[in-house]
Amino acid sequence: MIRFLITCFFITTNIFVFSQSSFYNELADAALGLTKQNVVYDPSYFRIAYPNGDVPSDRGVCTDVIIRAYRKLGIDLQQKVHEDMSKNFDQYPTIWGLTRTDKNIDHRRVPNLMTFFKRFGRTLTISQKPGDYLPGDIVCWNLGGGITHIGIVINKKSTDHKRYLIVHNIGAGQVMADCLFDYKIIGHYRYGE
């Protein structure tokens, strides 16, 4: 009987460790749903409403995939990033030479989202092991030349079934792709619930 209980505990513990909560699965599904929208890659600066502002629905960049997926679950990253930057501006990158926040663009910059996720989410292992990246995880890459990129891990596997796919926008709109290890990973986060 004791051996049976220990075995059940071990199995239950392993299932808990390797499966995502329903929130992260819903986030992955929200990201996948974005691939059904026709979106043109457009890095233009837009004046947008606040809170819950968004660039035109047929426009966007990689960060807009993240923002839109979270918004489908009732989380407004525009407001959350802006409020934290307003209180803790010195904690965020100064790459753009700004001296104050800008609620139109701050949440649409990968380094700012990375800082926000580090501050309020979980920073996860960066590795070359596919099993470390689960649906709903946020992954950031360095594309070289000071260009960063961001995407969401979803519940669909690569054709060889070795890794989960990513929803991102790197120039061809909001798409699903097998690109987890195509670029240098510089951030891996879990934020929500």
Overall number of domains in the chain = 1
pLDDT value for 8: 40
- Quick check: is 180 in a domain? yes
- Quick check: is 8 in a domain? no
* Average pLDDT per block of 10 residues along the chain, 193 residues long: 38 44 97 98 98 98 98 98 98 94 98 98 98 98 97 98 98 98 98 86
Per-residue b/e over 63-78, b at no fewer than 16 CB within 10 Å?
Answer: bbbbbbbbbeeebbbb
- Quick check: is 98 in a domain? yes
**In contact, 163 and 127? CB cutoff 8 Å:** no
Per-residue b/e over 114-129, b at no fewer than 16 CB within 10 Å?
Answer: bbbbeeeeeebeeeee
HSE-up (13 A, CA, CB side) for residue 133: 29
Calculate the alpha carbon distances from 51 to 102, 104, 151, 164 in Å.
12, 10, 23, 32
- Quick check: is 57 in a domain? yes
**Residue numbers of the domain that contains 145:** 20-190
- Quick check: is 149 in a domain? yes
- Quick check: is 13 in a domain? no
**CATH label of the domain that carries residue 95:** 3.90.1720.10
pTM above threshold 0.75: yes
- Quick check: is 142 in a domain? yes
pLDDT value for 44: 97
Looking at the chain, how many residues does it have?
Answer: 193
Maximum Cα interatomic distance, the chain, rounded to a whole number of Å:
65
- Quick check: is 2 in a domain? no
Cis upstream peptide for 51 (omega within 30°): yes
pLDDT value for 22: 96
Sign of CA pseudo-dihedral 154, 31, 136, 116: positive
